[in-house]
Structure 1
Amino acid sequence: MADLDQSSEDVSVDSRDGNSQDIKVEFTEDEERLIARMFSLLGDRWSLIAGRIPGRTAKEIEKYWTSRYSNSE
C-alpha cells in the first residue's frame, strides 16, 4: 500500500453521491484564495474555476462559495 503524503487540511469528503446536503467540504487556504481570485475574474463560472483546482468539482466549489459568501436576501 502506497503512503499518502497529505496533511489533514487536504482531506475532504466526497460529496458527489448526491446525499451530502449537510456534509461540509473542506478546502485548504490556498484553494480558498484561488477560488476568491478566480471568482473576482470569472464570476460564478464554477466549471472554469474547478478546472484550475485538481480534484475539485464545480459543484463542490459552488457549494463552498455559496455557503461561505452568500448574502441572505
Structure 2
Amino acid sequence: MERYRPVRVAGLPPLVAGAIGYFSYDMARLVEKLPALRRNDLGLDDAVLMFYLGVVAFDHVRQCAWIVRNVFTDGPG
C-alpha cells in the first residue's frame, strides 16, 4: 500500500487518490444479527472499492475543478 501513498501538493484538493467506492446499507447484516427485509433483486455487491490513477475533483464552494493524474516513480518521493 505504500506505493499508493500520494505526495501532498499545495493547492491541490486533499483527495487525489486512494480507494474510492461504496459500502451498502445492507452490509450491516454481515456484522450484526438483523432480519433480512428483502432479497437482493438487483444483484449488487455489498461493497466495491477501486483504486484510480486519476480523479476529477470539483470544489462546490469555490466553483472550480481539478483534473489530477497520479504517476509512479521508481524512487522515494
Asked if TM exceeds 0.5, the reply is no
Structure with max Cα Rg: 2
The structure whose RCO (Cα within 8 Å, separation 6+) is larger is 2
What TM-score, normalized to structure 2? Answer: 0.19
User: Whose helix proportion is higher, 1 or 2?
Assistant: 1
